[in-house]
Every structure is written in structure tokens, then in C-alpha cells.
Structure 1
Amino acid sequence: MKVVVVGCTHAGTSAVKTILSENPGADVTIFERNDNVSFLSCGIALYVGGVVKEAESLFYSNPEELKSLGATVNMEHDVTNIDTENKVVSVKNLQTGETFEQAYDKLVMTTGSWPIIPPIKGIESKNVVLCKNYNQAQEIIARKVDKTKITVVGGGYIGIELVEAFATDGKEVTLIDGLDRILNKYLDPEFTDILEDELRNRGVKIQLNELVQGFEDNEAGDITTVVTSGGSYESELVILCVGFRPSTELLKDKVDMLPNGAIIVDDYMRTSNPDIFAAGDSCAVNYNPNGGHAYIPLATNAVRMGFLVGKNIFEPKMKYRGTQSTSGLHLFGFNIGSTGVTDSSSKAFGLETKSVLFEDFYRPEFMPSNEKILMRLVYEKDTLRIVGGQVMSKYDVTQSANTLSLAIQGRMTIEDLALVDFFFQPHFDRPWNYLNLLAHKALEQENMLNHVDVESFDQA
């Protein structure tokens, strides 16, 4: 059986390794348009900030390793067309210009995503750069050296991490976002308010509710003015981080997709065409909080989905457990974790929810040092099923986001979490773990609401 893999970053690398480790001698051919595989773009900000000294360390595989496992690896080869009826891909060798066709029995689409490039006047300026792959990371590092004024457009994870890296490096940083809050997909206002204040205290200029309308270069070409709906900002370097779109044009109208082009897969990573599998940023994930599909491009999702492609490529063996979109962030000393829906986003996912906000010390107050944790628990109104959570502290509580992720995946209720058996040791927590206490707060809220409802009924 011939397996063709199109694209080889996180999902593709994971799929190839799993296919070949479980099926030695399998006929696997890879086509990758870049000259590298497996680059961890989530580490770019660490590289920019000097935490990671060499960009090469952000790779966890390479073409030679995949070849050693038995794959036929074609780097700098672009798949230009897919004939799904005859099961043939058309390929162009980007080094020689040669074109040829390759037949397949099973096709694996792991083409990933690409930064959204809005049609804004002046966006072709040489001072406006993207932040996604290895080459772009190298360009940012090279060009930031003699720059003082840097503007980041987009207040998501990548944008915020770059802002921190540049600010730490002593740059004059402006952050522009069209929404009213940073990190709005991951955190509720009580959390983002604190982070925005911290950024401002560090000298970052934050311009929210401003849409970028154009980029204007000066005569010398060394200064670009970012023109927005609220002002204009001179910059020597502009990093565009406004989100990602799935790279799925090759399969348009050939498999089922979400309106944004994300490929829909079943529990075994099969598309609506049973001979085509897909994984990673090119796909919609099966989203556990609402049981539907969502586009959530994360490396963690990609490697899991690629692994499942490898498990199921020849026959369905292992089901996809879905995702909660769990993520973590370290920003100016704050450790932040989130999973599932937020209080702000739950309606967009068709959920009727309630939530509680709770703050407490992570361990007994008799300990010589301590830190507070700010927590939110989001749960479904009728079932009391947990569907989201957020934690933030100067103490590293980010693994608690993973615990809440398990709670969502296991369809636990607030009562279940309130009574989970967590250990107690004064170095780490209290007799009631802080996640227990968070769930207790939700139970108290429900008891109070039920009491009010009973009183209203009695009065009626």
C-alpha cells in the first residue's frame, strides 16, 4: 500500500514516525515544500528573547531521521494538484522545476496553516514580516538587532510572547489589536486586565479596538507608519500576528470542510473521502466542551492527530478523544493556563454556562512564602458539567490547566471536582486543593441560586 504524506511539520512528522514504527517496510513518500521539518514555531519568541540560543534546537526531527525509518523524503517539493478520483498527486520540484505525478492508495494531508495576511494597503513593505516558520524566525532575529521601535499587530499568544521578548530586550514596543482585550480567546477580562496593566507598567504601548488600515513607508524606506482606525505609529519593524488559516486549497470541494477551509475528520482521522486522512493545523478538531468541531491550531493537537493517523492508516484501531484547546503561557513572571471555553466565548460554542471566579493562596499561610492563584471555572448551566477553566499565579500552577482539561474530557461535574482525591502536603497545597476549593465555590453558587429559586416559589 502506497501512502503519500503532503506536508511534514508537527502532524506529518508524527504520522510518518508512527506509520513506520508500527509497519516496518511500509511504502511512505513525503512531499514537503520547505527545506526542513518539525520546526517548533511556538519557540520563536524564546529565540527572539534569547532564552533559546540557537534556532536549530527548535527542531525535534529532520529529513535524515525520517529516511532512516524508511520514508522516501522529498524536500522542497510542492504538491500542485490532487486528483482524488484517480488517486494521483501532481508535484513540482522547487529546485529543478521538474514536474511529475505520484500515485497513492492512502493520502495524508498535513499541510498545516499559514498566517492570515489581510488585504491592507502597504502590507508588501519590507518592514512588515510574518512569524510562523524557521526562515521568518531567522529574519526577525537578524532585523531586530539595530531596531528600536517595533510594532506587533495581534494580541494572541504569539503576538504577546513577542511583545514580552522585545520589551525585555529594551525595545520600544507597540501592540495593536482590533479587539478590546488581549488573549481574548483564552482568558476572561479579570485575567487580561491584570496582564494588560503589567504590559503597560513595562513600557509597552497597548492600542486596543484599533483596526490596521495601512502601512506607509518613509522616503528612505527605514520607517513604516502603521495607520489604524485610532492613530498612527512609527515603526522600524512590524510583526504581523493576526491569526492563522488552514492550508487546504488542494482539497477544496473534494472533502468536507468548515467555512474557513478546515478539514473535518472523524474519530479515526478520516476525511469524508475514506482514502484521505488529515491532521494538524489543516483540520478542525473534535471539540469536547460542546461535542462539535472547532478550528484550534496548536502543536499539541497536531502531534496527537498525526499519531492517530499513523495508528489508523491501514485499519481503524484507535479513536480520537477530542481536544479541550488546553494551553499555557509565561508572561512577565505570571504563569497562566487555560482549557475549554471561557465565560466570554461559551455562547459562541452554543453553550449555556455559569462560572465562578476564585482567588486563594496555593498553600497554607503558615508557610514562609506564598502566592495567590486567580482561578475561573466554567460549567454548563443545566448539567453542571465542567467545560472550561483558567488559572494564573506567580507560582507555577499551569499543570492545573491539564487537570481541568482531564475534567472536561472525562465529562466531570463541579461536584466531581469538588471531591477529587488530591494529595495534601504543606509545601504544595492545602488539605483541600485549590481546585477542590474552586469547585466548592461553584457548588456554593448553585446552592445559593437554588435557595433563591425555592424562596421565590414559596412566595408565589
Structure 2
Amino acid sequence: MKYVIIGGVAAGMSAAMEIYRTDETAEIAVLERGKEYSYGQCGFPYVINGYIPDLEDVVARQVETFREKYGMDARTSTEVTNINAKDQIVYGIDLETGDGFQVSYDKLLIATGANPTVPQWEGIELKGVHTLKTVTDTKGIMHDLDDDVKHVTIVGGGYIGLEMAESFKTLGKEVTLIQRGDQVAPIFDLDMAELIHEEAKRNGINLKLGESVTGLTGTDRVEGVKTDKNTYKTDLVLLAIGVLANTQFLQGTGIHLNPRGAVLVNPYMQTSLKNIYAAGDCATDFHRVKQVNDHIPLGTTSNKQGRIAGANMAGNPLQFKGILGTSIIKFFDLTLGRTGLSEREAQQLNFPYEVQTTKANSHAGYYPGGETLHLKLIYHRDSRKLLGGQIIGKKGVDKRLDVLAMALHHEMTVHELVDVDLSYAPPYNGVWDPLQQMGRKA
């Protein structure tokens, strides 16, 4: 059986290794557009500020490992341009030579990820304008961050924007963050996002909310960022305004995409075309609370979907059980966590819901060193099923977030949450965990 995988990062190589383990006779070809394989994108901000000392530390396996140890035809600098689903042929270009190539397949996986959104602003091609998605992007930013770069401007206040605001600030740079909406971290509700705004300002981040960038200024290198309200001098710009699924090459193939271009897949990661699968940031995810296909690109999801796609391609049927949008981020001294629906999403979906909010200690109040946790719990007004939650604080956020994600996965009610046997000792918790305190109130 000949397997072809388009994309050599999280989903693609998770699938490749699952195929390798499942089908001992597999012929595996991987077509990767970049030069690096199997790296952890989430570690890039910490490489840039030096907290992780070497970029190689976020690379799980080198391309040579897949070739020499696992016998894969692992290619780099190969961009796929078209797919003939009827004859089961992939067409592409070798980016180093410019030569075209074609590869036949028995089973095909699309794991092409997502591309950073780059608006067609005036000045977008100036030197000093960056995105952050690949190893090459990371090297470019690090090479560009010399002593002449005093002021950095970040466009976009999502997770990458926030993480990089901290990263640049720890390097001693002045940081301006411009967000088109009225809050950063739009996956949080505004009442919770205000805590993030306060942390940003406390750490010297120059927040500009409710401003839309209209262009960049400069001659050879970027010198300023123009918005609908002002112009800000800068020495470097990072665009962090979201991503779009890398699926443009699928136009005309007949494969079914969602309105934002992500490949529609079923629980077995199969697409609408025979023998073609998709996984990772280029594919849809079934949302367990919304009960619809969604698109929330996260590294955990990419690895899970890749493994499941590889297993199914190799004849071992597994199902992807869906997502909750669970995510966590470090932002200076705060940890920001959320899972399931926000209040805003519950409103948009017309769910009848109730909300509980509270401030609680991260562990027993009489034990030294406790920190305040800010918690928000959303649940169904009628069924009392949990719908989602948001937690922000300095300590203990991850512990509660993962408990809540598990409860959501199993469709628990607020009453059932109260009954769970959670761990307790004064250095770690109170007798009643903050989540269970909220469940009792509900």
C-alpha cells in the first residue's frame, strides 16, 4: 500500500508514524513545503526570548530520522499544486529546482496546516514585517531582533499576539499591541478579558483597542503602522491576526470545504473524496458542545487527528471524538484558560444558559502562598449540563481547567460536578474546590 501525506509537521507526521506502526509493508511518502519536519510551533515564542535556549529543542524529529530510521520518502521544499482524485495522483513543484513532479497514491492524507493571514496593506512587503508559524519564520524574527529594534508593534491580540508581547517585552523591547476589537483574547468574554488588559498594562504593554490597521509606512524597512485613528512609529511588526486553512490547491478537486476553506471530515478523518483523508489545522473539528463542525486550530487536536487518520488509512478503524476548544496560555504572571462555550457563544447559538462567577483562593485560605483565581462557569438553564468555563489566575488554573474539560467531555451537569472526588490537601486546594463551590451555587 502506498501512502502519500501532504504536510510534515504535527498531523502529517503523527499519521506517518501511526501508519508505520500499523502497516509493516507501507510505502510512505511525505511532501513538505518547508525545510523542517515535526516541530512544536507553540514553543516558538519561548525560543525567541531565549527561555528555550535552542530552536532545535522544539523539533521532535529531524527529517533525516524519518528517512534513515523509518524508511520514509520524506521530501522538503515540495509544494503540492493539484490532486487528480480519479487517477489518484498528486502534482507539485520542487521549490528548489522549479521542476514539476507527480506521485501516485493508494491512500492520501491532506495535512497542510494553516497559513497566517497577511492583509494586502500598503507597505506589507517592507523589511521588518513578520508572521510566526514556521521554523523559518522564527529564524527570521530572531535574525531581525538586533539592538536597533527598540519598538515592536504586534497586530492582533489572540494567543500568538499575547505570547509574543510577553516574549518581546522580556527582551527589553517597547511593545505596542493593536487590536481591532474592544478586547484582546476574543475567545474569552469581555469581563474576563479585562483581567488580561490589566496584566498587559501592568507589564508596560501599550494596548490600542478598537483600532483597525490601514497600512504600513517606510521606504525599505517598516517605520510605522497606520490605523484609522493614529500612526505609531515602530522598528518591527508582527502580524498575528489569525490563520486560514492551507487548502487553495484543492480548488476544482470537488472536495468539500467549509465556508472558511477547512476540509470537511467525518469522525474517521475521511473527506468527501474516496481514499483521501484530512487532519490538523486544515481540517474541521467536531465540537462536542456546539454539536457542529468547527475549526479551532490547536496543536493537541492536530496530533490526535493525525494519529486517527493514519490508523484509519492503515486499516485500524478509530474515531475522532471531537473537541471542546480547551486552551491555556501563560501571559506574564497570569495563566489564562478556557474550555467549551463562552457566554458570547452561548448567546449566538441561542442556548438557554446561566452563569456563575466567583473569586476563590488557589488553595486552602489558611495555607501561605495562595493566589486569587477568577472563574466563570456557563451551564444550560434547563438540563443543568455544563457548557463551558473560563479561569484566570496565577496558580492552579491548569488543574481546574482540565477537570472542567473532562466534565464537559462526559456531558456532566453542575450537580454531578459537585459529586466528583477531587484531591485535597491545604497546599493544593480547599476542602471544596472552587469549581465545586460554583456547582453548589448553581
Bin of the TM-score, shorter chain as denominator length: over 0.9
| In 1: Cα distance, 2:51 partner to 2:107 partner | 41
Q: What's the secondary structure of 1:270's corresponding residue? A: coil
State how far apart, in whole Å, the 1-side matches of 2:359 and 2:170 are: 29
TM-aligned CA distance change 1:263 to 1:348, over 3 Å: farther
User: What is the TM-score when the length of structure 1 is the normalising length?
Assistant: 0.92
Q: Which residue is equivalent to 2:96?
A: 95
State the shift of 1:383 in Å.
1.9
**Does the CA contact (< 8 Å) of 2:128 and 2:144 recur in 1?**
no
Report the equivalent of 1:161: 163
Q: Which residue of 1 is the match for residue 223 of structure 2?
A: 224
Q: Quick check: 145-154 or 84-93, which moved more?
A: 84-93
Residue type at the aligned position of 2:406: L
Task: State the Cα distance separating 1:222 from its structure 2 match.
Answer: 4.4
What's the counterpart of residue 306 of structure 1? 306
Partner of 2:416: 416
Counterpart check, 1:296 vs 2:333: no
Contact 2:385 2:411 in 1 (8 A): yes
SS at 1:404's partner residue?
Answer: helix
Q: Is the 8 A contact 1:24 1:70 kept in 2?
A: no
Task: Show the counterpart of 1:448.
Answer: none
Deviation at 1:262, TM superposition (A): 0.5
Give per-residue Cα distances to partners, 1:44-86, cap 9 Å, x unaligned: 1111221111111111122122222232112111211101111
Is the contact between residue 244 and residue 260 of structure 2 (CA under 8 Å) also seen in structure 1? yes
1:21-420 matches, within 5 Å, as: 21-67=21-67, 68-146=69-147, 147-185=149-187, 187-217=188-218, 219=219, 221-253=220-252, 254-315=254-315, 317-349=317-349, 351-420=351-420
Distance 2:98 2:330 in 1: 44
SS at match of 2:50: coil
| Greater Rg over alpha carbons, structure | 1
**Displacement of 1:229 after TM fit?**
1.1
Contact 1:5 1:30 (8 Å CA) reproduced = yes
**Aligned partners of 2:166 and 2:332 also within 8 Å:** yes
Q: Are the aligned partners of 1:25 and 1:70 in contact in 2 as well (CA < 8 Å)? A: no
CA distance in 2, matches of 1:115, 1:98: 26
Q: Distance in 1 between matches of 2:192 and 2:105?
A: 49
Percent of matched pairs sharing the same residue: 29
Q: How many residues align?
A: 439
Query: After superposition, what is the alpha-carbon deviation per residue over 1:276-321, rounded to whole angstroms, capped at 9, x for unaligned?
Result: 1000000111111111011111111100000101111133621111
Q: Which runs of 5+ in 1 are unaligned?
A: 444-460
Q: Is the 8 A contact 1:356 1:378 kept in 2?
A: yes
Task: State whether residues 252 and 261 of structure 1, in contact with CA within 8 Å, keep that contact through their aligned partners in structure 2.
Answer: no
The 10-residue stretch of structure 1 (63-72 or 275-284) with the greater mean CA deviation from structure 2 = 63-72
C-alpha RMSD over aligned residues: 1.5
Q: Partner amino acid for 2:156?
A: G
Q: Distance in 2 between matches of 1:399 and 1:424?
A: 12
SS in structure 1 at match of 2:124: coil
Equivalent position amino acid for 2:49 in 1 = G
8 A Cα contact 2:386 2:411, kept in partner:
yes
Measure the CA separation in 2 of the matches of 1:96 and 1:434: 60
State the Cα distance separating 1:350 from its structure 2 match.
5.0
1:174 offset after TM fit, Å? 0.5
1:349 deviates by 4.3
| Letter of the 1:232 counterpart | T
| Gaps in structure 2 of 5+ consecutive residues | none
Q: Mean Cα displacement is larger for which, 163-172 or 102-111?
A: 163-172
1:223 deviates by 4.8
Structure 2: which amino acid aligns with 1:69? Y
- Give the Cα–Cα distance (whole angstroms) in 2 for the partners of residues 2 and 275 of structure 1: 11
Contact residue 21 and residue 69 of structure 1 kept, 8 A: no
Kept after mapping to 2: 8 A contact 1:268/1:316: no
Alpha-carbon distance in structure 2 between the residues aligned to 1:358 and 1:265 = 39
Contact 2:126-2:222 within 8 A present in 1 as well: no
| Whole-angstrom CA distance in 1 between matches of 2:297 and 2:47 | 21
Could you tell me which residue of structure 2 aligns to residue 447 of structure 1? none
Give distance in 1, aligned partners of 2:278 and 2:176.
Answer: 38
Hey, what's the Cα distance between the residues in 2 that align with 1:306 and 1:279?
5
Which ranges of 4 or more aligned residues in structure 1 deviate by more than 6 Å?
none
Query: Take 2:128 and 2:222, find their aligned partners in 1: how far apart are those partners?
Result: 8
Supply the distance in 1 between the matched residues of 2:384 and 2:263 (Cα, whole angstroms): 31
